[in-house]
Amino acid sequence: MADQFEEKKLEERILLIKRVTKKITGGSHITFVALVAVGDRKGKVGVGMGKGREVPQAIRKAFTKAQKKMIKIPVYKGTIPHEIFLKYKAGVVFLKPAPEGTGLKVGSVIRTIFDLAGVYNVSGKIIGSRNQIVNTHLIMKAIGMLKDRTLSVTAGAQNS
């Protein structure tokens, strides 16, 4: 019974805070956009974006959205189960598993997302886009396409 009410131990990292200005008749209207990643270091990670008139309000909204959009990453021996190549908008990502002790040989927001998810050995590259928002959505889409290695091995054994 106590396990049901136990609060999730989630760690959050702010990936991006942007100040957005809109010109209106009375002057300019300033808002903030926050991009936040949330993870439990046990294979679950989520990303959310929030807008608000102040930075803390935007971060709070982004954190709530990230919690709702959490997905499970199949982790195999501290790395991802297989290679993945994906194109999304202007960005292209290539990720491949790395042996134990390699570390996160990736850049930008990928490092933060995999660190929060509890994946510690991955090699990869993002090509074509430097936009952190697009790259974040690209990585989350790629993570969602990963297949669990144990399921594919057992499925192959049943087909034989």
Output the domain CATH number for residue 135: 3.30.230.10
Average pLDDT over residues 80-93: 93
110 and 143 both lie in a single domain: yes
Q: Which residue has the higher pLDDT, 85 or 4?
A: 85
104-138 residue pLDDT tens: 999 889 999 999 999 999 999 999 999 999 999 99
118 and 99 both lie in a single domain: yes
**For residue 84, what are the β-bridge partners?**
95
Please name which of 10, 4, 16, 83 lies closest in space to residue 45, comparing C-alpha atoms: 10
Looking at residue 60, its pLDDT comes to 97
Looking at residue 156, its pLDDT comes to 53
Domain residue limits at 79: 74-149
The H or E element spanning position 23 is strand 11-24
Measured distance CA(75)–CA(81) in Å, rounded: 6
Inside any domain, residue 157: no
59 and 86 both lie in a single domain: no
Inside any domain, residue 82: yes
Looking at residue 148, its pLDDT comes to 85
CB hemisphere CA count around 17 (13 angstroms): 15
Looking at residue 107, its pLDDT comes to 85
Its pTM stands at 0.84
The H or E element spanning position 109 is helix 108-117
